[in-house]
Structure 1
Amino acid sequence: MIGKEIRIERIMDRNTGKTVIIPMDHGFTLGQIEGLLDMTWIISQVSDGGANAIVLHKGLVKRGHRRHGRDIGLIIHLSAGTSLNPDPNDKVLVCTVEEAVALGADAVSIHINLGAPNESKMLESAGKIVKDCNRWGMPLLVMIYPRGKGIDPFSPQAVGHCVRVAEELGADLIKTNYPGNQAAFEKIVKACSVPVLVAGGEKAGDLETLQTIREAVHAGGAGVCMGRNAFQRDNPKEFIQALCKVVHHNVEPARALKEME
């Protein structure tokens, strides 16, 4: 599908085959959160930091089109839910692939929580989105996590199950949790034919975060899809510059941070 190939080139580095994606769709879930209050400013910071793409809901696309500066890939998130819902793991579709095409998207993304009470509805919606993506030549990033009662969200078995489900659905890119073990993640990635990205995880220090990402990339990961761990930094542009050095240029985290300073 030439349309998918063309668009994927806008969100993946053609030289390294990896990507740094910064999701900024958290406002839908959490409201007016720190780091996403001035969207035009933070998108400029992320872009100037060298990230390959951002993730936005459709209503914020106009605030990210800056008409100047470095271009950045646009991924429109199609599913959402709020923290006010008794089941925050429930996600429903709030946008279509056709709308994303009209908005100039380079890809779309959906969210699936395996093990959640409404898992079946999320999987059914994903099947319909995959069909539309194939029709429009639109790459699909599936953000999929093990979440539910009694489920360990970092279990290698559970994470591997998520990756397999996303691959069998027809994802073009997959985002999931890093299981915290390089060997375990390497096994998961090797068994998958689709690029696998790791989530940013819980907020941690600059060095610790970059070391985790480096582990994941060395295990065969195709990069990172990191939200609050990036845009809520005191210096988001500089941190993303260091992150890109680690992902795309195999720079040691300590050195990348030193160069940042």
Structure 2
Amino acid sequence: MQIGKSIRLERIFNRNTERTIIVPMDHGISVGPIEGLRDMREAVGDMVQGGANAVLMHKGLVRCGHRMEGRDVGLIVHLSASTSLSPFPNAKTLVGTVEDALRLGADAVSVHVNLGDETEARMLQDLGDVASCAQGWGVPVLAMVYARGPKVKDEFDPETVAHCARVGEELGADIVKVPYTGDIDSFGTVVDGCCIPVVIAGGPKLDSTRDFLQMVSDSIRAGGSGLSVGRNVFQHKNRVRLVEALHKIVHEDEDVDAALAYIGE
């Protein structure tokens, strides 16, 4: 592996555990300035304080609070976008380049692909093109790959999720983000079919902190490499403590009860 890519990956992954806690903050383009992301300096600061390994955001947000005096965290610049106002919200388009991300000091870039969408072909081409460009610069690529389209009956089906992970791997991503399949055994098959780190998405905001922590813990036990979760983290009522609890599960192999007690729930 290129030395530059190795160095950048170590800014995203804990070098001892080879796992990561990524907090996506790219929701503003999709749904606007939602709760938890109105003050970006505060949001990023809380994630850093809690011990997140990286945050993920669009290029224009980096100036709004990523680098703060005395604090640092890995930066992933997201290159895909669509809005909930569009008649085709699952059709992601590229809105940035690898070079844009490098100029901002990013450690990695990310691309979103929705398999099964009518515009799947273009999204696959975008991921392939970005991966080729990023390889030339030694920049890691995170592929967010989901199954969302007219023919998709269940986006959490283990075979479907394994297909998503494999697409990210085969098109040149260095990390792939997919939905959790619901249990350790089935998610283990997803991880086994992929030779790059697999991290889980958060999905809709969960009502139960325990359920969220259990999902993360189970994904780690299945061989996953951590999480890339937004709303279930930055919208939590005690988000700093939550990230600290996630750190204990992901990097210290704490059990869910101990992590939950740490939050005070």
TM-score, normalised with respect to structure 1: 0.98
Pick one of 175, 192, 213 that aligns with 1:173: 175
How much identity, in percent, do the aligned residues show? 49
Matched residue SS, 1:224: strand
Corresponding letter in the other structure for 2:101? A
Correspondence 1:232 to 2:235: yes
- Residue deviations 1:111-162, cap 9 Å, x none? 0000011000000111110111011100000000011124111011110110
Matches for 1:1-261 after TM superposition, within 5 Å: 1-151=2-152, 152-204=154-206, 205-261=208-264
**Alignment partners' CA distance in 2, 1:66 and 1:109:** 19
Deviation at 1:254, TM superposition (A): 1.6
Preserved contact between residue 148 and residue 155 of structure 2 (Cα < 8 Å):
yes
CA displacement, residues 66-120 of structure 1 (integer Å, 9 cap, x when unaligned): 4323310000000100001111101000000011001000000000000011000
| Root-mean-square deviation (Å) | 0.9
Runs of 4 or more consecutive aligned structure 1 residues displaced over 6 Å after TM superposition: none
Show structure 1 runs of 5+ residues with no match: none
* Mapped partners of 2:263, 2:236: distance in 1: 13
CA distance in 2, matches of 1:91, 1:29: 10
Q: Which moved more, 1:17-26 or 1:143-152?
A: 143-152
Partner AA of 2:85 in structure 1: L
Aligned equivalents of 2:48, 2:33: Cα separation in 1 = 21
Q: Deviations over 1:228-248 (max 9, x none)?
A: 010011111111111111111
Q: Is the Cα contact below 8 Å between 2:241 and 2:262 reproduced in 1?
A: no
Give distance in 2, aligned partners of 1:7 and 1:42. Answer: 23
Distance in 1 of aligned mates of 2:240 and 2:119: 37
After the TM superposition, which of the residue ranges 56-65 and 103-112 deviates more from structure 2? 56-65
TM-score when normalising by structure 2: 0.96
> For this pair of structures, how many residues does the alignment match?
261
CA deviations on 1:11-55 (whole Å, 9 max, x unpaired) are 000000000000000001001211111111011001100000000
Partners of 1:133 and 1:23 in 2: CA distance:
20
**Aligned counterparts of 2:151 and 2:128: Cα–Cα separation in 1:** 26
Measure, in 2, the Cα distance between the counterparts of 1:183 and 1:219.
7
Q: Is the 8 A contact 2:116 2:151 kept in 1?
A: no
In the alignment, is the contact (CA less than 8 A) between 2:217 and 2:256 conserved in 1? yes
CA distance in 2, matches of 1:243, 1:150: 35
| CA–CA distance in structure 2, aligned partners of residues 140 and 105 of structure 1 | 11
SS at match of 1:164: helix
What is the one-letter code of the residue matched to 1:222?
S
Q: Deviations over 1:199-224 (max 9, x none)?
A: 11222211110001100000000000
Q: Distance between the aligned counterparts of 1:123 and 1:245, measured in 2?
A: 36
Partner letter of residue 209 of structure 2?
D
